[in-house]
Structure 1
Amino acid sequence: MPDRLGPIDYVRQQAAEREQPAATCPGFPTECSNVKTVTPDPPTHFGGIRCGCADQAATERHTVDTITSDALDALYEQLDAAQDTELARQLATCDKAFASATVRAAEAEQRAAQAEALARVAHETSNRSETERARAVERAEQAEAAIERVEAATHDLRHKDAMRILAAIDEPKEK
């Protein structure tokens, strides 16, 4: 069975999978004038360099007075695409979590059924043992009662005959 990720490790894995490399200029890394040093952030990455040209592009923002209808439409398209991507990512994450929960629930059901079967066998065994013990006690009580009856009946016999009967009763059972 494959190893399951805990919730924190799963989120980290998902974040690492969706990270996209930063936009770079055509001259990166040798001819880019905006090379930035990236400090290490384990376990996400180990540092290095990146292109800073995308940072400049991101700071060139439109205002209400300067944006054109085409630029606004492009921004809305980017927003819709980003939302669709995020929804798809969240849906995929939910699907994986549901599949994992379904597998774990099935395994738990199987373990519960096994435990129930073991409990049933133990109960049946216990009942059989109790029945056998009760039968043995009943047979012992019957034997003791028979001995008492024989002893009472032999009281009136001659001493020699009575002693022979009592000796026969005390002898071990032959197999």
Structure 2
Amino acid sequence: MTEPRGPIDWARQQQTEREQRAEQPGRHTVDTITSDALDQLYARIDTLEHVAASNKQAYVDAVKDFQAVEEAALVLGAAYEWHLHALDRIRLAVGSLCHEPHPSHDHVCPDDVLRLVEAALAQPKEPRP
């Protein structure tokens, strides 16, 4: 039998398997079940309960992991926004230092600083070694 591709296929496959099991001869009734067959049924129930508990724990763990990722994304998003606003404040601060031309002078012109900072910010960041 092929693997189901989605929940509808899975449900159809389960229904088909249930129908096939119901049609099989030798299915036990209350009057015909043996002690060994009853022991096998209880063992199967124990196994299925264990599997269900494991699945439940896996689901709980996955939800916790997802929540942790969501929280990290919120923190990173807030940090990103903070840095964007910080860059805007830097641009405004450096830009407010100098608005008049300085053809020749012996100090560093804030206009040059602003151009250098903006050029540095526009460059793609190289990964660290």
Normalised by the length of structure 1, the TM-score is 0.39
Q: Relative CO higher for 1 or 2, CA cutoff 8 Å, sep ≥ 6?
A: 2
Normalised by the length of structure 2, the TM-score is 0.49
**Structure that is richer in strand per residue:** 1
